[in-house]
Structure 1
Amino acid sequence: MSLSLTACGSDDSDGGDGGSSADSGFCGKNLAFLGALTGDAGALGQNMVNGIELALKEYNADNADCKISLKKFDSQGSPDNAPALATQIINDDTIFGLVGPGFSGESLATGKTFFEAGLPSISPSATNVTITDQGWSTWHRVIGNDDAQGKADAKYLTETAGAKKVFVVHDGQDYSKGLAGTVEEALGSAVVDTDTISVGQTDMSAVVTKVKASGADAFFYGGYYTEAGLLAKALRQGGFTGTFMSGDGSQDPAFVEVAGADAAEGAVLSAPAGPAPADFEATGLYATQAYDASNIFLAAVKDGVKDAQELNEFIGKYDEDGVSGPIAFDDKGDIKESKIYAYFVKGGKLDVDNPEAIE
């Protein structure tokens, strides 16, 4: 694979030159997925794989002479596990593209490896702002970044929820710090205090004590659904009655399972992702983004793209409507257009069909 790939660009074309899948250099090869399939955030990675497999199912049904398969690499969302898996991926000459990485920390830990190998990647879910500041022209994402989501979350808390004093907590991971940091900055003087917990922490009593002492009337958590659920449960048991809000890392039905229906009731979980179409077969947050990311690679195959450099150029010029919304990339690899939604826990369930657009 070429090391000197051009930076992502965009125009009004889909990036193709009128070829066909029979002309592609990728027939019979594989896409890879890198992300959490097990562990505390495994449900989110499973959602992504559901979307990828749906795209492949549809493509292979119509392209029996040029089938594409999937190889899955389970990082458990850990930036410590991901580099070794990235090495496996770039050393596998059957893999021509990566849907992923799933999380921000593992994206930052592997982006240079994939860039230097010339392997194009499209993340359905990694939202840390700094990823696309690294100059990795092979890295793209089909989802809005934490800057857009964090500002929308802060606006929701103060303007819609009417919060005057917001307590902000994160778990120290790259995604979590990025989102919580943007929320904190956008809230300004409305932030009454902050704290940090650890991934895997189960005792939230110290946080509850600080929240109650602060007089906060709203709470924001940057992190994933397991700790978010434990925090919501502990806060409600401790008497906190204010608004509980978290971001897309918590936007999964598993949040309600961890917190319990009573403690989760009324929680607000934002995401830079709208609901899936009613007839969409794959379910869960990021499934539509993973489906769309896969279909960009598959569109390149159908167009007869032959090598990694052509593939990266195709992605950079891609401009089509996906099931998750319009998809076109700026010169850094960020999606040009993204909306932020608030999802609500109602009647003991996360309502994934009726979000409110908040930005």
Structure 2
Amino acid sequence: MRSIVKLATPVAAAALLLTACGGTTGTGTEGGTEAAGGGATGECPDGVSIGFFGALTGPNANLGVNIKNGVQLAVDQHNAEDGACQVTVTDYDSQGLPEQATGLATQAVGDEAVLGVVGPAFSGESRVADPIFDEAGLVAITPSATNPALAENGWSTFFRVLGNDASQGPAAATYITDVLGAQNVFVVDDASEYGKGLADIVREELGAANTGNDTVQSGQTDFSATVAAIRAANPDAVFFGGYYPEAGLMLRQMREGGLQTPFVTDDGAKDDGLIDAAGAANAEGAIITCPCLPPEEAEGTFAADYEAEFGTAPATYSAEGYDAATILLDGIAEGNYDRESLLEFVRSYDAPGVTKQLSFDEQGEPADVVVWSYKVTDGAIVADQEIPTS
């Protein structure tokens, strides 16, 4: 098995190799044209691909682009190795919408060149796409979908490289009560599979300290009713379960309405889009929880390699996307050129990644889990502290 923690590779050299094999990206309708069959001992076939399934456009695209870049970096480094089986990335742009997931998942399983998928990136689309992957035997490793129920469906092809909301929710509640010292907490969710699921866990963990609740909708822009309800409840803290567009706008309207209540949100809001939507002054001091390692804490040269390739520092789930792709690429490097053998390889995987030791239990959950808090400081999201998960 090749080393997961790699040395930096010149982007130009990688680009030459990738050009020779036809590029590294595809679309949900194109991808490889030749079946990538042949088992774990045959010669590398033409057209081998892994899929990326998540939002590349739409209101939550920043999170998907972060992941896709991590996947692309892993593929570029793999392809630049001597004698490597050349791999392309086939994109399935879901816009983060469950209603897009059925068609895209069907496309993925119908393209025999696609041996595995990084994603789906969001919990709602995962609930729709993963049964289709399972029926087809197409392994899917999510770097970001955190709803705990996803691992409870008996899908043999489901894996994730980060902790689920059963760890993030209690950690968020612990931070709110122990670090912030809040005794009266108002909880808001966005009614999504992810946002409501996480908020409900936080509510349960807070118990009597959860003194007020509200639900908003994805795409909502007017939060005046929610702000009024928060003002009436006069809480010590507010927790929001959902994504950065709504989190940022709600926070802006809270602050502009005179409410300086401490604001805590989640990994779906861990993006500069939160600061853009709220305004830097309004976002200052906001707390974000995430079952993800700070990118600068990643092992090896990952952060430097990422910045060299994309001209920006890695962001939320870039490293997790890299790890998920690396698992699939390690399987391909060992000659697993069909879906069945690659699935078996992933099931027994146990090796160091850039975020943690990567291995899975029988439900596809990671053996190693961390949760961190982050804080908006001077207009940037920075690591705050690791939150105990037990």
C-alpha displacement of 1:165: 0.7
Does 1:276 pair with 2:295?
yes
- When normalised by structure 2's length, the TM-score is 0.84
Cα distance in 2 for partners of 1:65, 1:248 equals 35
Does 1:285 pair with 2:303?
no
Cα distance in 2 for partners of 1:304, 1:180 equals 43
Q: How does 1:291-330 map to 2 (within 5 A)?
A: 291-330=322-361
Q: How does 1:204-215 map to 2 (within 5 A)?
A: 204-215=223-234
Give the count of matched residue pairs. Answer: 339
Amino acid at match of 1:358: I
RCO higher in 1 or 2 (8 Å CA, sep ≥ 6)? 1
Amino acid at match of 2:219: G
Q: How does 1:112-191 map to 2 (within 5 A)?
A: 112-191=131-210
Cα distance in 1 for partners of 2:260, 2:296 equals 34
C-alpha displacement of 1:27: 5.5
Equivalence for 2:261: 242
Structure 2, unaligned stretches of length 5 or more?
A: 5-38, 307-313
Secondary structure at 2:376 match in 1: strand
C-alpha displacement of 1:343: 0.5
Q: How does 1:29-108 map to 2 (within 5 A)?
A: 29-64=48-83, 66-108=85-127
Listed one character per residue, the Cα deviations across residues 110-134 of structure 1 (whole Å, up to 9, x for unaligned) are 1110100110110000000000100
Listed one character per residue, the Cα deviations across residues 5-59 of structure 1 (whole Å, up to 9, x for unaligned) are xxxxxxxxx9xxxxx9984656531101111111111000000010000001100
Does 1:221 pair with 2:252?
no
Listed one character per residue, the Cα deviations across residues 267-294 of structure 1 (whole Å, up to 9, x for unaligned) are 0011101112474133111110110011
Amino acid at match of 1:355: D
Change (3 A) 1:210 1:65: closer
Secondary structure at 2:99 match in 1: coil
Secondary structure at 1:62 match in 2: coil
Question: Which sits farther off after the overlay, 208-217 or 280-289?
Answer: 280-289
Cα distance in 1 for partners of 2:351, 2:48 equals 24
Does 1:265 pair with 2:278?
no
Cα distance in 2 for partners of 1:321, 1:215 equals 46
**Identity of counterpart residues, as a percentage?**
41
RMSD: 1.6
Change (3 A) 1:269 1:24: farther
C-alpha displacement of 1:215: 1.4
Listed one character per residue, the Cα deviations across residues 48-104 of structure 1 (whole Å, up to 9, x for unaligned) are 010000001100000455100001111100000111111111111111110000000
- When normalised by structure 1's length, the TM-score is 0.91
Cα distance in 2 for partners of 1:306, 1:124 equals 22
Secondary structure at 2:220 match in 1: coil
C-alpha displacement of 1:307: 2.3
Q: Contact 1:232 / 1:259 at 8 angstroms: preserved in 2?
A: yes
Q: How does 1:332-351 map to 2 (within 5 A)?
A: 332-351=363-382
Alignment equivalent of 2:385, drawn from 353, 356, 359: 356
Structure 1, unaligned stretches of length 5 or more?
A: 1-13, 15-19
Equivalence for 1:10: none
Cα distance in 2 for partners of 1:297, 1:32 equals 10
Secondary structure at 1:81 match in 2: helix
Cα distance in 1 for partners of 2:113, 2:339 equals 12
Question: Which sits farther off after the overlay, 234-243 or 167-176?
Answer: 234-243
Q: Contact 1:230 / 1:259 at 8 angstroms: preserved in 2?
A: yes
Equivalence for 1:4: none
C-alpha displacement of 1:356: 0.7
Cα distance in 1 for partners of 2:363, 2:261 equals 39
Amino acid at match of 2:333: K
Amino acid at match of 1:57: D
